[in-house]
Structure 1
């Protein structure tokens, strides 16, 4: 996949510069070197620009002190691609939710999740989400647009700068469906790996499942972790929880996941939100194990995080452990993820526009 070409600001009328030039954030050192040479500057300034964008967090090219003063003036309107902080909230477990204002005024959410040994960022890939999963708050607000690669990478740099700590892991599990924004997401993954320096296997891409997109992802051989939001072990229940499942039956989705394993050699993680009395019964656990036999996979159980719009309940711990036990007895690899950030509405499924603060 080719990168978005970087346009020379000198080729555009002044009033159009900031609107038409793609932001520089997300560009590789090779792209930035070609771009500075297009401006008539020596190639080594590409590495300088790369350092200032990714390591020093510059937000305006006019602030790059190693550039000639007259050139800095010419580049003042070239967008780096950084957002502005709109709102920040901290949960008692130190998880931080950020509402970030983009260049067009839209607001997107990111979450920083610290632990003793690492800092994980949950990033969004769209403003809103078109998938409308019944138990997820984000989809209740509808869909506005895709994010570009700069707007995705910016979320990671924002959290990294706020925590003053290197980000070790990124999960594409915020607002939006990543595989409906494949070009920007793949470009952002490459930038996070090569420019920000996060290992490919420390990047997790989550999807509800879009026909043919998992296969396309496999062909890029990115070595990221694929997490498929399954949430039900049969087609009827999945359609109830995930409207898009009507157009993409679970049998077809699982077949594509098997292809992904064959192509990449990487196992697939299946996310499964546990809803009390809905998908957490013993028969559901048996059906789930049967679905996943025969290929490398891992089930990540997520006890439901409550939202105001629907009446689903979280199962109690005994019910959760009973579900786990059945999967284990069927030799299905399983773990339970208790989401962090609940008090800040930053946990899985809770990101939403109705929480925006003025």
Structure 2
């Protein structure tokens, strides 16, 4: 897929820059041509010689290089590539991109191009969560910039949380997805997945048996069709799909916020098993056994994510797909749910314990739409995802 594709790789200044060396190697293995650009800060972490040796190409560093700029090099560089990849994409460079700044070679290249751009953010967790960074991300997403990661984990500064740059193979998968010409190329798709965990106290929570396997398969199938995918997942057991913009949440309220932050999209597929209720006032400390008897838990209703998006007056996705996991009267209950929520399609399935579907590797679904109820044979969850992705592509 990447044979003879030309990738302009911008390496910004962060400790994650060392991963860019392996990224270059992985891209070259797949037949891609990599033209590297280093920011001044990046040179504090990787050397131009090491980058050039792996890429087999000259490293570009200076906006005011007389030899390169005699031929308007920054214009040629920015437009000769099939894809521009920024890895790592620091908070500073993302801010420049969002605000149209062009005070060095990297930012000038990014402003002077109409080539698709894919970024792999990397920064401290507090920087990632800062409102300014989140505003910049929203601006860039609306501008059509693609994202892969960041991941959650330990950081060089000793903190833990979202902000780690995606691993090289994850970035390669995202590049392959971005380069793939498919029926969903240029489309942005939101997929929710997994269960939600609603806290009772610091050590207990309410959950369900969803593994997230079907949601992961759907996200991967959408990427395979060429879509840019925002993947919002609860604490699922299933692995995370490659080539997506990953947003990990825990509760239904957090998932609602993440979904709203991902909009606008062309299609939204809500395969997550979101808890209908939460404990109204979760305890700040562990609830102890007492002689007074069992504790009383008061419940509150969680936000209805599917209905909220389906019934948006402005900015509603062209296609909204819900899921209905039922244990009895599957078709009737799912049909009623579709009418009540206002979504376009409902994917219904029987999750009675004897089916082995909840948490299993197979699924048997019925697609409910204006055209009626269409039963699909039992098959692997990846096959269900592939068929659903094909239907979404046709609908869009």
Same fold (TM over 0.5): no
Bigger proportion of residues as strand: 2
Higher relative CO (Cα under 8 Å, sequence separation at least 6) belongs to 1
TM-score, normalised by the number of residues in structure 1: 0.36
Bigger Cα Rg: 2
- Normalising by the residue count of structure 2, what TM-score does the alignment of the two structures yield? 0.34
More helix by share: 1
